[in-house]
């Protein structure tokens, strides 16, 4: 199981994560977020030097602006957390980036998944809430068993240190990664990396 940690915005956290087993590091390029990248002290050079897959999180941003940011920071994955269209996703994918499209979930799978099947690399299922992610609440994971598609899945929404056993018990063939954020924070944008590392180690045990 691969693990993404999202909402990194400080050099201290980034330095700690370099030795971590985390697979993806997420940076939020959404101005209304409490974890907005530019509110921290990270530079382009810091991201360029990071030997982890870098994920940029965007919400209803123009395609050209997303592409410009992605190229500047050498992002690997674009996570689209708004109402981006299949055409937007396809345009970004043609630019050579992996695209994860986020969908809010509560107690049923989103009806529009099929529209995006040919233009994204993964669906990210996050809990439906007030904010675009980072709400710290789980949705009903039992709905994952209803998924019959071939597009890989990323699970997000309220995943915390206590969920190791539940995650191991998930038997969803298409699930490739989990996305953690607020449940591992000291404050918005500042992660408890020791807690995160323990969680990752336990999650990846066979």
User: Which residues are identified as catalytic?
Assistant: 6, 126
Q: Contact at 8 Å (CB) between 33 and 132?
A: yes
Q: Contact at 8 Å (CB) between 158 and 5?
A: no
Give 159: exposed, middle or buried? Use CB within 10 Å, 0-12, 13-18, 19+: buried
Output the CA angle 188-193-2, nearest 5 degrees.
100
Please name every residue paired with 79 in a beta bridge, in sequence order, or none if there are none. 57, 100
- Alpha helical stretches, state H, 19-176: 44-48, 63-73, 86-94, 164-169
């Amino acid at each position: 199981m691969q693990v993404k940690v999202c909402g990194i915005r400080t050099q201290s956290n980034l330095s700690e994560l370099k030795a971590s087993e985390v697979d993806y590091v997420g940076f939020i390029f959404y101005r209304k977020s409490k974890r907005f990248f530019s509110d921290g002290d990270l530079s382009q050079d810091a991201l360029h030097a990071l030997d982890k897959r870098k994920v940029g999180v965007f919400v209803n941003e123009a395609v050209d602006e997303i592409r410009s940011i992605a190229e500047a920071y050498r992002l690997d994955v674009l996570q689209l957390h708004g109402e981006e269209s299949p055409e937007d996703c396809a345009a970004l994918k043609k630019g050579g980036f992996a695209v994860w499209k986020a969908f809010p979930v509560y107690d049923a799978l989103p009806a529009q998944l099929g529209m995006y099947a040919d233009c994204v690399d993964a669906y990210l299922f996050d809990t439906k809430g007030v904010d675009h992610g980072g709400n710290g609440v789980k949705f009903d994971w039992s709905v994952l068993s209803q998924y019959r598609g071939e597009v890989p899945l990323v699970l997000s929404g309220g995943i915390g240190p206590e969920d190791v056993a539940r995650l191991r018990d998930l038997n969803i063939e298409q699930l490739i990664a989990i996305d953690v954020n607020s449940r591992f924070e000291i404050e918005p944008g500042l992660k408890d990396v020791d807690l995160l590392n323990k969680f990752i180690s336990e999650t990846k045990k066979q």
